[in-house]
Structure 1
Amino acid sequence: MEVTTLSYENLHNHGELFANMFRARHRAFIQQNKWDLPQANGMEFDQYDTPASRWLAVHDNGEVLAGIRLTPTTHRCGIYSYMIRDAQLGLLETIPSNLLDMPAPVAPHIWESSRVFVSETVPASLRLRVQLQLRQEMVAAARDLGASMVLGLIPEASRRIGRRVGLECEPAGPILNFDGLDCVCVTISMAAKLH
């Protein structure tokens, strides 16, 4: 099992891994969760998959087992910036604008974590190991990017998983229900992880 941080600058070094990440997202979010998201050729993507983002993949022999997208809160592409901020500004129909207890931050030291998933094919005996590798890569990538904080919208139950893998996910908004799943915006401090 390997963990790789992908960017537009290093895609050529990783063969099909980038496309496999989008295929795995398609399976996780469109096929399994039944979310109505943009798709093409069996891959899920959205307006935040730009050269400014990074994609973290836990993979084994080309199969993507888990992934995360990191996007700088300072990035803009047309009318869009990052998912949580755009939801707060009312630009996204599927996410309510009251998801944060504060104005969505725009700062070079804060990155957004989104499109977090662990494949349903990962056996229960390996899930914690896969989640730990994914979280460790997120911390390493965020640190390399100069982030001292990550902001994300996660299932509320994932806060416990975060603690199990050494991340303190502090609530930054109300618990919201999405298709029967309770979710909450959280901040994750990278400061302690930077030393």
Structure 2
Amino acid sequence: MIELVDISSASNFVGNPLAEQHKLRYRSVIERQKWDVPHHNGLEYDEYDNPAAKYLIYRDKLGIARGVSRFYSTHLPYMLEEKFPHFVTKIQIPKDEKIWEGSRYCIDHKISPKTRQDIINQLGIAYLEMGLNAGIDGIVGLTYPVFWKKLFIDLGWPIEFIGDVTKLDNGHKAQAAWLPVSQAILDNVREVTGIYETVLYLGINNDNKKAA
């Protein structure tokens, strides 16, 4: 199950999923990857963690976040536009309510490879279920080329690179991509992952809208 949470819906979930995803991000990008980004009391955050942000969160039975990804509409000022526009060279920088940015994709590195892959599979399905429910056309983002393959391409998602591989300030190479959202792609990802049930959970006070 993947929880879709924002600041206005957080009370519909058991525990504190928003705090948990900030903790996971701290473990992933501060402790493990040594990013130079803001953090406080074991929580990683930036200026895009605000009321407009949405989060897909996988939590274990103890309520600990083991997987997360953040989303933000590109009609607002967003990270790829403001921080990394030079990574987008093959199209104009998206600026559209029907195009969202995905960022801060983190999986807990301490869990087993099998559990990690299960979370990756569920997050891929949740991306598409969320996108279809919201009526968006697609998602843009920036990450390492090997992550694009492992997290999306290997799931059967035909992504399109919208810029060349370019070095980040930390020396690592990254690439921007476009992830189209459609029912056909969701159907294909379900076939590849073997996940046919709905994974998206909107909270106890919501009627979950189910993508087919």
Normalised by the length of structure 1, the TM-score is: 0.86
In the other structure, the counterpart of 1:91 is none
What stretches of structure 1 of length at least 5 have no aligned partner?
A: 76-80, 88-94
Rounded to whole Å, the distance in 2 between the matches of 1:36 and 1:159 is 22
In the other structure, the counterpart of 1:164 is 154
What stretches of structure 2 of length at least 5 have no aligned partner?
A: 187-210
Contact 2:108 2:116 in 1 (8 A): no
Q: Does 1:123 align with 2:112?
A: yes
By relative contact order (CA 8 Å, sep 6+), the higher-ranking structure is 2
In the other structure, the counterpart of 1:67 is 68
In the other structure, the counterpart of 1:25 is 25
Rounded to whole Å, the distance in 1 between the matches of 2:10 and 2:35 is 27
Alignment of 1:90-129 (within 5 A): 95=84, 97-101=85-89, 102-129=91-118
Render the CA deviation track for 1:133-152: whole Å, top value 9, x for unaligned. Answer: 11111111122222111001
Render the CA deviation track for 1:110-147: whole Å, top value 9, x for unaligned. Answer: 00000111111121122221101111111111222221
**What secondary structure, in the 3-state scheme, does the structure 2 residue paired with 1:4 have?**
strand
In the other structure, the counterpart of 1:90 is none
Alignment of 1:27-42 (within 5 A): 27-42=27-42
**What secondary structure, in the 3-state scheme, does the structure 1 residue paired with 2:86 have?**
coil
Aligned residues: 181
Render the CA deviation track for 1:65-118: whole Å, top value 9, x for unaligned. Answer: 11100100012xxxxx1000112xxxxxxx4x4200132110111000001111
Higher strand share: 1
Render the CA deviation track for 1:145-168: whole Å, top value 9, x for unaligned. Answer: 221110010210123221222222
- For residue 83 of structure 1, what is the amino acid of its counterpart? M
RMSD: 1.6
Percent identity over paired residues = 23
